[in-house]
Structure 1
Amino acid sequence: MGAPQARPGPQVSQRSEPPERPRAEDSVSHRPGAPAAAPRFSVLTPVFETGPALLEEMLASVASQSFGDWEHVLVDDGSASPQVWEWLVAAARADGRVRVVRRELNGGIVAATNDALAVARGEFVALLDHDDVLHSGALAAVSAALDAHDDVDFVYTDEDIITMAGRRSSPYRKPDWSPETLCSQMYTCHLSVFRRSVVEAVGGYRAGFDGSQDYDLTLRVGEVARRVVHVPEVLYHWRAAPTSVAGNADAKPHAFENARRAVGAHLARVGFEGVAVRDRERVNLCHIEPRLVSEPLVSVVLPTAGSVREVRGRWRVLVEGCVESLLERATWGRWELVLVVDPRTDAHVVERVRSLARERLRLVPSRGEFNFAAMVNAGVAAARGEQVLLLNDDTEVLSPDFMERLLVYSLQPDIGAVGAKLYFGDGRIQHVGVVAFEGRPAHCYWGYRGSSPGYFANARFARNCLAVTGACLMVGKDKYDEVGGMSTSFPISYNDVDLCLKLGHRGYRTVVNPNAELHHFESSTRVGLELPPDELALLRRRWASVLDRDPYYGAGFAPETPNFVSVGGAGG
């Protein structure tokens, strides 16, 4: 259940102003029978003009928790209807674990939640919106996750949508802790439970982020959390109300701009050389546009056998087309070409590449039997760049700034391999990340139309994944060397997956960025060789525990396909 411990990030220097303390007379005291000691959980719920049926259902979902060591802190944020306060007072009188606070003036969700946080006594705070519903086992499951490790600072669960009529749909099966995914989408969302001392240490909720206040808090907590744990169960039901983003994306247009601002502030704090921009079509997504200050030399390591293939109705030498596309389209100026030449390559092909690449070219001869991993290792050994880009000779650049879009992630100290979105010649998806499926690596969305958004749009934004293909893979040269490069025990296939898993074992995360796009006229680098089954068997011997439980592709997906098809329904 737990994700590997993240390396600690920089401390947050900015702190919000202390929230206005609620007046003591506005709080309803615990009734007889309430626990004397501080509870494990404080469930925080800001309330504003909530209807009686929804309020009752929300309150009942907390009261019916199978784990009973909790308090429920509700803040009436100046509701005009006096009945709201009366209902809250009645709930507090009925159950000593319910505590209520009243604000005379409406201050917004940030102020109201900070008021709840100010009086909370629990070791952990759980966030529950005023019209949503908890699964009866939610707090029990979170408590069990906390018991597994004493350094857990943040727990989140899976969620689904519940209609006004109570019908549930669209279960969201989330990945384990994925910092780069979080920069693209507020994927942790509900249910989120934080160690209260950590929330207070980062400054609580910040004014100016209404509608995305949880996103801003999660980004700041994620920077300092010692351990983040994902509970892969649907334990929160998000209400699709007309005033909720779950039911109407236009209900809170300010929320999406505040989300972009929250991501931008995070990028600045952690030293990302990029800025956050909103997706043009999916308003809840962000992308990182590179604003590179560093100017690393990129060594493009390109193994070739000089293969010829028909592309768009014409025969062409693939390596020549690849190099031409780099020279004509790539906007990153600081790169060299390390051409690793198979001994069967026609000498005329090498000379043509030399005439194209000129002073950028470094030739590395390959000797012996074909071993793709050995060829790549030889190229990296000869590389002079701080960053290496492994590139198949059967690729063609589509997005001119693809190197920048890989660099913006590869330059981060905690990120290892970074991959791109690759298309077949007809525009269908060839690669947008590797998942472990049935105990083996598989390309998700292989053969899907190029515009397919994927599960909750995850084919559209940069995210963490188990591995990326070596057809286009960027990694810091020092990190590549740290793990010993590609294993030559995988001469044909799975050498890229093994490399990503070795990097992951050392604590480096893998990222696929769909905004870096290339064509991939697949498998032409291989000289007529079939994939030997013993390579998969070796990969299984090395990495069975990871391949049997992909942290980014968990339970709840249909067993027939590696394409994020939820058993409970498709994602939006």
Structure 2
Amino acid sequence: MKKYAMLTVKGAVGLLPKTFKQKLKKNSALTALYSRSLHKSGLFYGLPSKKKALAMYSYYLKRQEILLAQLLRAGSLNLQEESNLISVIILGEEKLKYTLASLNHIDHVNRIIIVSNNGPSTTINQLYNGELCVTSTLSDAFLKVINNEHVLLINSGEQLHKAALTLFQRKLKNSDVVYSDTDNKDSKGQLHSPRFFPDWDADLHFTTAYVNTAVALNSKWLKLCSSLCEADNVRTIAQVVLLLWLKKGTLNDSALKVEHLPFTLVHSSHGDEHQKRALPFVAESLRKHSVTEVTTNETPGLNVLMWPVTQSPLVSLIIPTKDAWQLVKACIESILEKTRYGNYEILLIDNGSTEQESLAYFEQIARHPKVRLLKYDHPFNYSAINNFGVKQAKGNVIGLINNDIEVISGDWLTYMVGHALRKDIGCVGAKLYYSDDRVQHAGVVMGYGGGAGHAHKYFPRFHVGYLNRLVATHRFSAVTAACLIVERDLFDKVGGLNESLAVAFNDVDFCLRIRELGYSNLYCAEAELYHHESVSRGLDVTPEKAARFNSELAYLQDTWASVIKADPAYSPNLTLRRENFSFKQKNEYGNT
């Protein structure tokens, strides 16, 4: 009954005027209620209820304890072998007793430095058995650390797992900054709401300030940390991590190495308060130390960055098609009418069209000054067609565009080109919706279905996703070529798309080859378009098409086995059976 009621509600919402729907979507309480209702009615398939999520996380925690105990017993993380102790810097005094209590039983803490505007407190001294001092600024706190000691930065009120410092200290042997997964701890001591992070993602930090709880810092960065904190009046952990990243290369001309521990080692009693507090400070530091424009949206809690496109290079948008003139018309006209970025050309590649209406439309649209019509009279091969198109392109930036794409946001190309021109970014993908406003693509996760799949697939358009990752621009191992922007030099450097992959996974393979060169691939949440997926080509339902798909999947699995096994953009604690960022099921774990 609930299912049919929600179907009625969905239908009614679809009939509302667009301006009114936009107002409704800005109401976070209403959108949250709508999501919960979809979930309960079974229309938001696969996400566990709150009760089930607690049970699943409880199982995860038991498994984590077994795994950590095995690591410690093996001696691979025995801190007694370490020569360095660690100093702890605590930011603030709120709920301080919980933080100090979690540190009281850890032997290798040398001293604790509390950053507080209040002076030394007798109460504070009574809460901790070891050496403790108070200072008013984070800059001064770093100066009080004894040379050659690593540092743990932690917010007041956060509690550490008993193995946290051991794990952090060992990781710091070969890294500069270490962070872990986190969760919340309620007044009854119940652990819940884990945040299972990806490996270090600078863009996710720019947009969500996600590394905002306890982090460990290598001692070699202490003087730099002090000067950065003094210059920027730093108040949050997220800022420290950001500024170190922006200043990478200051020491030994080598990039900052940030490591992630996929265990929930930090328990917060503040929920997401530290993240919300950090966002505007991160935005302020980005404005000061980078060339990007930054705006902060308090709901859902997000920084939106637009990187400059100073010289506006020519972008060649390549659109292959066979017939399907109505799709092509909707695609090209939406580009011409809505795209604010002006310097682009459209290469429409006709792959053997026979319908007279299509041929007539293609000839007509080719008279537009921004459109060129090219003929590719060979059997369908998506990779070969696009490689052919790139050879004919005049632009320094290439856009691979499916014929069933429709532009929604006018700045889509401005955002995507801005990212593509960054020195560390390779391929840039867009946020794509089905016609019914469900998400079709928001980044590609390796390992889904044994190969690769789309993050947050089928989520409602208004949903923020897991840890805001649906609305935040950040990095993935791969993105779809249904709408992909990349510099031509990079396209040529890897030899274009792999023509042995005629239909499936050629974009994933292409992105991973770009990634092998040291570039990151990016999902741009601000570039919103519709994608009527596979409308013109059809689905792989014939035996021949199924065999071809299985062959291409096997190639992906053989060639990119290591990334499929451990995608750095996805947590090993999340399921690979659905594209919804849910917990792993019990039978997905190994024997540990």
Report the TM-score range of the alignment, normalised by the length of the smaller protein: 0.7 to 0.9
Among 329, 334, 348, the alignment partner of 1:339 is 348
SS class of match (1:474): strand
Q: 2 CA distance for matches of 1:280 and 1:60?
A: 33
Q: 2:408 aligns with which of 398, 408, 412?
A: 398
**Count of residue pairs the alignment pairs up:** 491
Tell me, in whole angstroms, the C-alpha distance in 2 between the residues paired with 1:202 and 1:101.
19
Q: Is the 8 A contact 2:148 2:219 kept in 1?
A: yes
CA separation in 2, counterparts of 1:489 and 1:432? Answer: 26
Q: In the aligned structure 2, how far is the partner of 1:226 from the partner of 1:87?
A: 38
Percent identity of equivalent pairs: 28
* Alignment correspondent of 1:429: 439
* Superposition TM-score, scaled by structure 1 size: 0.80
1:286 matched residue in structure 2: 303
Number of the residue aligned with 2:56: none
Partner of 1:6: none
1:120-269 pair list within 5 angstroms: 120-147=146-173, 150=174, 152-201=175-224, 203-207=226-230, 212-223=235-246, 224=248, 225-240=255-270, 245=273, 255-268=278-291
Equivalent position of 1:312 in the other structure: none
304 and 538 in structure 1: CA distance in 2 versus 1, 3 angstrom threshold = same
| Structure 2 CA distance for partners of 1:186 and 1:256, relative to 1, 3 Å | closer
- Distance of 2:120 and 2:558 partners within structure 1: 64
Instruction: Select which of 43, 46, 49 maps to 2:88.
Output: 43
Quote the offset at 1:527 in angstroms. Answer: 5.9
Residues 164, 79 of structure 1: alpha-carbon distance in 2 compared, 3 angstrom cutoff: farther
Return the alpha-carbon distance in structure 2 between the equivalents of residues 188 and 63 of structure 1. 25
Give 1:61's aligned amino acid. Answer: S
Q: Provide the rounded CA distance (Å) in 2 between the counterparts of 1:163 and 1:204.
A: 36
In structure 2, distance between residues paired with 1:521 and 1:424: 6
Quick check: 1:431–1:445 contact (8 Å CA) kept in 2? yes
Q: How far, CA to CA, are the matches of 2:162 and 2:511 in structure 1?
A: 39
Say which SS state the counterpart of residue 538 (structure 1) adopts. Answer: helix
Aligned to 1:372: 382
Q: Is the 8 A contact 2:179 2:260 kept in 1?
A: yes
* Structure 1 contact 209–216 (Cα < 8 Å) conserved: no
Question: Does residue 295 of the first structure (1) align with residue 312 of the second (2)?
Answer: yes
Moved more, 217-226 or 496-505: 217-226
CA distance in 1, matches of 2:338, 2:92: 54
Q: Deviations over 1:516-538 (max 9, x none)?
A: 01111111352665352111001
How far the C-alpha of 1:557 sits from its partner, in A, is 1.2
Check whether the contact 2:154–2:237 (CA below 8 A) recurs between aligned residues: no
The answer to whether the Cα contact below 8 Å between 2:211 and 2:237 also exists between their aligned partners in 1 is no
Distance change >3 Å, CA 122–CA 236, structure 1 → 2: farther
Give the structure with the larger helix fraction. 2
The aligned residue for residue 13 of structure 1 is none
Q: In the alignment, is the contact (CA less than 8 A) between 1:163 and 1:240 conserved in 2? A: no
Question: Structure 2 vs 1, CA of residues 547 and 266 (structure 1 numbering), >3 Å: closer, same or farther?
Answer: farther
Q: Which residue of 2 aligns with 1:324?
A: 333
* Post-superposition offset of 1:417: 0.7
For 1:101-120, list aligned pairs within 5 A.
Answer: 101-103=133-135, 107=136, 111-112=137-138, 114-120=140-146
User: SS at 1:91's partner residue?
Assistant: coil
Which residue, out of 75, 86, 103, partners 1:62? 103
Matched, 1:83 2:126: no
Unmatched runs of 5 consecutive residues or more in structure 1:
1-34, 93-98, 269-273, 309-316
Partner of residue 29, structure 1? none
Q: Distance in 2 between matches of 1:161 and 1:365?
A: 59
Letter of the 1:381 counterpart: K
Letter in 1 for 2:568: P
Residue 454, structure 1, aligned to residue 465, structure 2: yes
2:206 and 2:282 in contact (8 A); partners too:
no
